[in-house]
Amino acid sequence: MINHIDVSSVLRTSVCDLYSNLVTRPTGAAVRLGIENQLDEIGDRALAILDFSHVRLLDFSCADEIVAKLLLQYVSLDIPRREVYFLFYGMSDSHLDAIEAVLERHGLALVSQLPDGNPCLMGRVDGEQRQIWETMRELGSGELADVVNAAGLSPDRVERALDDLWRRRLVIRQDNAYVSLHGGPGVHENTAAPGSPTVSA
């Protein structure tokens, strides 16, 4: 299930109807709780598109409260809260400094989709995981053997990297196959919101 969450709408509902800046930690906490309430309604397995397109300012404290704390709850190398994947959309250059800082601080990573449709992997990711993620970006989807052939690495190394990427919710696992968060040929599905990115789930 794909769910589009307009962060600015959550902000207006949670804090102030005329507000478009994510500043101060209490503001970030209120928005995160609003997002969590929406996530609680979409089941145990879903793709959530967090759209920052209409957010003007995002400071470090709000990035920590929203981005980092959401990822820490739902993304884990151990046992995550639920199988929820996040695709971040509409992040401007003015948002990136704060987001990159909190990702580095917590050792987290995320997938952002740019307006032109190109995905971007942000945060702390080791070289082999990044290589496999980039291979998945090119493939769109594939089973282990497909990724092994495309990456030119041993099956054990590819399987370990794919498993880590899945546990970090940087790729989707469907049965015996893996799917890039930004989608690929033949597996696209549009979200309901106009101007939203094209993704697969």
Task: Give the phi and the psi of residue 142 in degrees, each rounded to 5.
Answer: 175, 160
pLDDT given for residue 10 in this prediction: 92
Enumerate residues 6+ apart whose C-beta is below 8 A from 73.
36, 80, 81
Mean pLDDT of 92-103: 91
Q: Which amino acid is at 178?
A: Y
- What pLDDT is recorded for position 129? 96
List the structure tokens of 109: 């990573």
pLDDT of residue 139 exceeding 60: yes
Reference 125, options 187, 79, 171; nearest CA is 171
Given this model, what pLDDT does residue 197 score? 45
pLDDT on residue 119: 86
Confidence of residue 77 (pLDDT cuts 50, 70, 90): low
Using a 10 angstrom Cβ sphere, with 0-12 exposed, 13-18 middle and 19 or more buried, the burial of residue 1 is exposed
Amino acid present at 69: K
* Residue 189 predicted with pLDDT over 60: no
Q: 118, exposed or middle or buried, with CB in 10 Å at 0-12, 13-18, 19+?
A: exposed
Q: What is the pLDDT of residue 81?
A: 61
Domains, the chain, in order of start with CATH, read 1-124 (3.30.750), 125-190 (1.10.10.10)
Query: For 140-154, how does the pLDDT look when each residue is reduced to its tens digit (9 = 90+)?
Result: 999 999 999 999 999
Q: What is the mean pLDDT of the chain?
A: 85
DSSP structure string for 124-179: ---HHHHHHHHHHHHHSEEEHHHHHHHHTS-HHHHHHHHHHHHHTTSEEEETTEEE
Bridge-partner residues for 50, per DSSP? 5, 88
User: What CA–CA distance (Å, rounded) separates 47 from 62?
Assistant: 22
Closest CA to 196 of 55, 52, 100, 71: 52
Band of pLDDT at residue 20, cut at 50, 70 and 90: low
Task: Return the sign of the alpha-carbon dihedral for residues 20, 22, 26, 31.
Answer: positive
Higher-confidence residue of 157 and 74: namely 157
